[in-house]
Amino acid sequence: MRVMDRLKFYIDGAWTDPVSPSTLDITNPATEEGFARICVGSHADVDRAARAARAAFAQFSRTSLEERLGYLRRIIEGFRANLQELGRMMTLEMGAPITFATERQATVALFHFEEAARVLANYRFEERMGPGIIRREPIGVCGLITPWNWPLNQVASKVAPALATGCTVVLKPSEIAPLSAMRLAEIIHDAGVPPGVFNLVNGHGPTVGEAIASHPEIDMVSITGSTGAGIKVAKLAADTVKRVAQELGGKSANIILADADLPAAVAEGVYACYVNAGQNCQSPTRMLIPRGERAVAFDAARAAVGSIRLGDPLDPATTMGPLVSKAQFDKVQALIQTGLDEGATLIAGGVGRPAELNRGFYVRPTVFGDVTPDMTIAREEIFGPVLSIMSYDDEEEAIGIANDTPFGLAGFVQSGDRDHALRVAARIRAGRVYLNGAPFDRSLPFGGYKQSGNGREFGIFGFEEYLEVKAILG
């Protein structure tokens, strides 16, 4: 395969060379072969981008609602025209099956631009309140740090509301899967967004990410990543009193109540856990079942795993691709072994690559049963296709287990009685709770409690993260 070179950064409306070029190979996780190269940046590159964004903010922050709607609509048109290409790019860079990459990864990213345009069209930036006026104004230059597991979704969920509100942007996509974000930069450029409004610098977290978090010209930093990375960013941002929005780790519980259709709920929970090969921060990785239903649940989980098709992610029939990298593969393998060592019952999968695949970072879809709350696999975010089934004696115990975690990103409740599910959902300490397999919704807020972060993304809540509130009196 010919190596694709994408060695420039997008700064001040043009693709420019790094200050000190240093290349990094991008590996296709299905073949373990490098297929592209990028440059990784430095503090100097971030400084150039931040200063360009600061200069552009003076004018862009004063653009009219109609002007910004025009930019968003042209980005949406360009995104739609390139949807298939963007999906294929994500398949190559992070291993998502091509159907999933197009219909979910790329399409959901497009949704965020559409949603930002919808919110902007009807948003009241100024209103009277008592004796004064309340204005909502763009916060300024926004540093955006995004992950590899949803390379465009998380970029779009930040970039779209930032541009819609009149902010300017310095983006650091993941250095593991940066190519789809670079293609988006070309779409933004072609949409006529003014120079300096959107900037992209590739690089590692300890260099480019930390430079963004600490840069005095950046007013806000939004990060999606691990809890450890979020803590580091918050500490660096504190010296310049930036606003910090964080969407971090998760260890979501899926409570299957006694009045649910257990086999159907278990199968649905398995598939939900394995979305994106389990590389999903809100995955329901802890399945809670009534203790007396152990055998039925195990059989249902085993059958669901048997219907999953691993293989070449470019094959439309594939339902699960590889993990993103060898480092992620090794981490997940180690945690599967830990589950065995600590005494969990292996229901499906296990250590090692699937027998039919001799290359690629593929992990066997794995289910453990008889998992107890103190086990490592019940407490750590695994970020791979590994499900822990835990038993409870009564509803109070189930809710207690669900909340016994430092995380609080999402929760799931399955019940034959919606009101019953609602009562349980109200007691789960998490930022989003899905009832009975409810689908994703782009308009409702997404974000975490506890160590899963702060701030919200999506819809009007994500939009207002990028606004300051000003009171005018007299």
In sequence order, the 6+-apart residues with CB closer than 8 A to the CB of 198 are: 10, 159, 163, 168, 169, 171, 185, 188, 189
In sequence order, the 6+-apart residues with CB closer than 8 A to the CB of 335 are: 376, 377, 380, 382, 384, 386
Pairing relation of β-strands 14-16 and 220-224?
Answer: unpaired
CA 418, CA 436: separation in Å to the nearest integer? 8
By the 8 A CB rule, do 451 and 407 touch? yes
List 114, 175, 281, 381, catalytic entry: 281
Residue 281 annotated as catalytic: yes
- Nearest residue to 157 (alpha-carbon basis) of 317, 281, 241, 62: 281
The one-letter code for the residue type at 369 is G
Among positive and negative, which fits the CA dihedral 283, 285, 288, 291? positive
List 93, 217, 247, 464, catalytic entry: 247
CA 72, CA 191: separation in Å to the nearest integer? 8
Pairing relation of β-strands 9-11 and 132-138?
Answer: unpaired
Report CA-CA distances (Å) from 175 to 41, 197, 254.
Answer: 10, 22, 32
The one-letter code for the residue type at 425 is A
Q: Is 9 helix (H, G, I), strand (E, B) or coil?
A: strand
Residue 127 annotated as catalytic: no
Among positive and negative, which fits the CA dihedral 313, 115, 190, 465? negative
Report CA-CA distances (Å) from 108 to 35, 170, 190.
Answer: 26, 22, 21
CA 378, CA 398: separation in Å to the nearest integer? 14
By the 8 A CB rule, do 386 and 408 touch? no
DSSP code per residue over 14-44: EEE--SS--EEEEEETTTTEEEEEEE---HH
Beta bridge partners of 220: 142, 243
Q: Which residues are catalytic?
A: 247, 281
